Structure 1
Amino acid sequence: MRIVTVGDNCMDVYLASGKAYPGGNPVNVAVYLKELGADSSYIGWVGNDQYGDQMIEAVQGKGVDTTFLAKKDGKTAVTHVELIDNDRRFGDYDEGVMAQFTLTDDELEFIHTHQLVHAGIWGHVEWYYPLFKQKGLLTAFDFSDQLEHGLVKTLPAFVDYSFFSYIKDDEYIRGFLKEVKKQGSRVAVATLGENGSIAYDGEQFYQCGVLEADVVDTMGAGDSFISGFIYGTLQGQSIQQCLTLGTKTAAKTIRYFGAW
């Protein structure tokens, strides 16, 4: 099982403690997939600063292939994080060198040696999705909580597994997921925080609740859910089983500080 994640990374800097943890949706997904047993690679840019060195060392330490994790002149992306009742709240985000991110021909060739490619809404990778599909890759994309973003209208045609973040199972999210499916996604999925998750495949809705866990920090919960779902999918599991595996993977993540 070979999966490549592409795009944004950042150091999550907790304002209260000053501690910094590596993160960013594609990075987190690659790490969690490796922990689940997949062969994962990550492609992105970091700055030539201390945070860049820390990011490279941490991702390599998890066994993720970083052949195309490049160091560029400038700053590594940083997100400032506050914890309010153990729930993470994002503050200022400095994109650093990732603001100019593009893929080289060598990187595109490398991506095409994988079964599935995953990226997120802040990663500057959306332009490449028609090419990924043309090359026969399975595709996943995290739209986060940006349900009104312009990409929601154009990208699902090239995304097999579209992921969103919302608050509860209601009429709005069900209608929304139906629209995403209609645009071309194979399965449209929404995580609902403490209300679990929901998926739609064009025929029916699937639901999964959350597992009881001692919440220390919710950072990375959505990303670990995505990893579990993708892993289950490539193993040939049913959508219901994929939701369950995503939920179990997320339950582990919220028991410690930082994404991983």
Structure 2
Amino acid sequence: MVRIAAIGDNVTDCYVDRGTMYPGGNCVNVAVWAARAGAETAYVGQVGDDERGALLCDALAAEGVDTTRVRVVPGVTSRTVVRHIDGDRYFGATDKGVRVFTPTVEDVNFVAGFDLAHVSYCSELDHVVADISRHVAVSYDFDDRIRTRGAEKLLRHVTVAAFSGSHLDDDDAADVVSWAHSCGARWVILTRGGLPAHVSNGTRVEQATPRPITAVDTLGAGDAFIGRVLVGIVSKTPLHLLAGNAVKAGAQACLEPGGFGHGKDLTDDDGGLQRLLAVRAN
């Protein structure tokens, strides 16, 4: 059985124009999509004791993701404003709420029991990645943090490095993959929106062309792609099949709203959403 733990960020994606909110966040989405691919998964993180925190925990439980190490603390669960144009999502202001936390020894020991631990730059856990990597292989989503000093330092401790680069042409994409490997990553994932993604094991690079679909919502497609690649890596799936499965997962993510569905009527019980909208307006 493939076992993958995600440790770090979560968020409530607030679709203000549709009046709906969805559980999400890179680490949450990756855990869910890895679970949908048949892996045993867990999420380690922190949410508030509010309706959004309950939504996230309930959705994870419904997807079969272990929430044993999810902290529920006084405060608000992270939320961000999301708007759409022709299916593509655009992020507005974000309230981090209580999502930023420091893992305990027990948290690290917990993820050490898995095949892989996934972290994202949004998790603000860069200071503990080296320690986690001493216990378990680490997957890290750098998003668009390419060729930065911070990324180079982290890559020394990362087994699987994921990047987002829709602005990169094929030559630039190949250079990014080579750079990440030279800094220490054994596997590199580079998604490029509607352009072919690159998945590399250090010996060979597979280009995965997105499937033509009519997207309902592109939010979470990259996370679904990453989650499916991680399952393939741990299960030692041949590279071409691994990439093909990831493309299917990314396409599937575009056919449902939110990172993985589980929408609920949008509420603003503390006025925080209105404050976020005001930030966007300014």
TM-score band w.r.t. shorter chain? over 0.9
Structure 2 residue 218 is the aligned partner of structure 1 residue 218: yes
Who is 2:74 aligned against?
Answer: 73
Counterparts of 1:24-63 in structure 2, within 5 Å, are 24-63=25-64
Structure 2 residue 16 is the aligned partner of structure 1 residue 5: no
* Corresponding pairs, count: 258
Q: TM-score, normalised by structure 1?
A: 0.95
Counterparts of 1:156-171 in structure 2, within 5 Å, are 156-167=155-166, 168-171=168-171
Q: TM-score, normalised by structure 2?
A: 0.87
Inter-partner Cα distance in structure 1 for 2:195 and 2:132: 33
Do 2:189 and 2:226's aligned partners in 1 also have CA atoms closer than 8 Å?
no
The residue type equivalent to 1:2 in the other structure is R
Who is 1:121 aligned against?
Answer: 121
Unaligned runs of 5+ in 2: 261-282
Tell which deviates more after alignment, 150-159 or 29-38: 150-159
Who is 1:94 aligned against?
Answer: 95
Do 2:9 and 2:123's aligned partners in 1 also have CA atoms closer than 8 Å?
yes
Tell which deviates more after alignment, 149-158 or 48-57: 149-158
Inter-partner Cα distance in structure 2 for 1:129 and 1:241: 29
Deviation per residue, 1:77-134 (Å, 9 max, x gap): 00110101110011111111123x1111111111111111001011022222222322
Inter-partner Cα distance in structure 2 for 1:96 and 1:124: 13
Offset at residue 214 of structure 1 (A): 2.1
Inter-partner Cα distance in structure 1 for 2:238 and 2:169: 20
**SS of residue matched to 2:22:** strand
Inter-partner Cα distance in structure 2 for 1:236 and 1:200: 13
Who is 1:177 aligned against?
Answer: 177
Do 1:102 and 1:124's aligned partners in 2 also have CA atoms closer than 8 Å?
no
Inter-partner Cα distance in structure 1 for 2:203 and 2:103: 36
Do 2:4 and 2:116's aligned partners in 1 also have CA atoms closer than 8 Å?
yes
Offset at residue 150 of structure 1 (A): 4.1
Do 2:118 and 2:139's aligned partners in 1 also have CA atoms closer than 8 Å?
yes
Who is 2:266 aligned against?
Answer: none
Who is 1:143 aligned against?
Answer: 142
Inter-partner Cα distance in structure 1 for 2:111 and 2:67: 12
Inter-partner Cα distance in structure 2 for 1:132 and 1:189: 20
Offset at residue 243 of structure 1 (A): 1.5
The residue type equivalent to 1:162 in the other structure is A
Do 1:169 and 1:198's aligned partners in 2 also have CA atoms closer than 8 Å?
no
Q: Percent identity?
A: 31
**SS of residue matched to 2:163:** strand
Offset at residue 57 of structure 1 (A): 1.2
The residue type equivalent to 2:242 in the other structure is C
More relative contact order, 1 or 2 (CA 8 Å, 6+ apart): 2
The residue type equivalent to 1:143 in the other structure is F
Inter-partner Cα distance in structure 2 for 1:232 and 1:166: 22
Q: CA RMSD in A?
A: 1.4
Who is 2:251 aligned against?
Answer: 251
Deviation per residue, 1:40-94 (Å, 9 max, x gap): 0000000111111111111111111000111112110001101011100111111
